[in-house]
């Protein structure tokens, strides 16, 4: 039998890119299930389709075929506007490049998802200050991205992803541009918050150390997820 009420269930996901060039059938029947508070890593060769898959799981892109359910919601039945609202409230994204808005301070960048969600300014400010403190940036609230180190920028991106208390964080190579010390710091921040807020995390990584701490490690290979890539427990 299956676990009751998983957080995220994707079944038989297919995705091809068609354009002027030869079509690429990237995902060929991906199945994945994630429960609350799960830590799931996805590894795979460059070009195997990891980012494509994460974008589809998070509703940033749509599959050609297959279903994605988040709790009781069917993402494929939502129109673009509904999907955007859904992402804002339920999913936090962190990418390899922080994608912070350059003209805004760290604090204002973290505000952004709260403003979009229509929360009160008092609530937004309290949450943003809390998250920036948790990510070790209490002294950097008014710095713009260009006035932050690479590691600090990524930690702001993590704080921003957590603004609306998402049940899941989806991270695509979040440490891909960081040195070892900053990788360790970012991971410890993410793991601490995961414990405190019971957040699930799906993380795409090339870093064997990250894969080493995740109980579930999938290898994306020939368009399907294979389990396990390594014998973690
Ligand atoms: N918009 C697009 N149009 C056409 N082909 C694309 C498009 N986006 C990605 N692809 C192709 O799809 C395949 C999967 O790309 P994807 O970015 O998902 O790989 P990845 O596993 O994330 O790789 P990396 O580890 O290098 O980030 C690649 O072969 C890529 O060239
Ligand atoms: Mg990628």
Q: Report pLDDT digits (tens) over 115-147.
A: 999 999 999 999 999 999 999 999 999 999 999
pTM of structure: 0.94
Q: How far is the CA of 59 from the centre of ligand 1 (A)?
A: 17
Neighbours of 177 (CB within 10 A): 15
Query: Domain for residue 233, yes or no?
Result: no
Q: Give the number of the ligand closest to the Cα of residue 48.
A: 1
Pocket test residue of 48, 96, 205 for ligand 1, highest count of atoms within 8 A of CB: 48
- The per-residue pLDDT for 208 is 81
User: What does the pLDDT look like over 190-218, one tens digit per residue?
Assistant: 999 999 999 999 999 988 888 888 999 99
Query: Domain for residue 192, yes or no?
Result: yes
Quote the longest CA-to-CA distance of the chain.
52
The contacts of residue 108 (CB under 8 Å, 6+ apart) are 101
Q: Ligand 1, atom 3: nearest CA belongs to which residue? A: 17
Torsion of Cα atoms, 70 then 72 then 75 then 77, to 10°: 180
For residue 55, the ligand 1 atom closest to its alpha carbon is 18
Query: Domain for residue 145, yes or no?
Result: yes
Query: Total domain count for the chain?
Result: 1
Burial 120-130 (b: 16+ CB within 10 A, else e): eeeebeebbbe
Q: How far is the CA of 95 from the centre of ligand 2 (A)?
A: 9
Query: Domain for residue 232, yes or no?
Result: no
Query: Domain for residue 3, yes or no?
Result: no
- Cα separation, 153 vs 144, in Å, equals 9
């Amino acid at each position: 039998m299956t676990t009751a009420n998983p957080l995220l269930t994707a079944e038989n996901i297919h995705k091809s890119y068609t354009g002027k060039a030869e079509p690429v059938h990237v995902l060929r029947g991906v199945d994945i299930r994630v429960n609350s508070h799960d830590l799931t890593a996805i590894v795979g060769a460059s070009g195997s389709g990891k980012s494509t898959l994460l974008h589809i799981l998070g509703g940033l892109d749509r599959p050609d075929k297959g279903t994605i359910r988040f709790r009781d919601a069917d993402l494929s039945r939502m129109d673009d506007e509904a999907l955007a609202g859904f992402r804002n409230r339920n999913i936090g994204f962190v990418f390899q490049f922080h994608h912070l808005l350059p003209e805004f301070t760290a604090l204002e960048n973290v505000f952004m998802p709260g403003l979009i969600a229509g929360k009160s300014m008092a609530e937004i400010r309290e949450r943003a200050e809390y998250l920036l403190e948790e990510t070790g940036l209490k002294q950097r609230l008014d710095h713009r991205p260009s006035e932050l180190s690479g590691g600090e920028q990524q930690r702001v991106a993590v704080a921003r992803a957590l603004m609306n208390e998402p049940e899941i964080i989806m991270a695509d190579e979040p440490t891909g541009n960081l040195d070892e010390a900053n990788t360790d710091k970012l991971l410890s921040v993410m793991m601490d918050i995961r414990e405190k807020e019971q957040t699930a995390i799906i993380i795409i990584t090339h870093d064997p150390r990250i894969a080493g701490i995740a109980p579930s490690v999938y290898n994306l290979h020939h368009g399907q997820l294979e389990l396990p890539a390594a014998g973690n427990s």
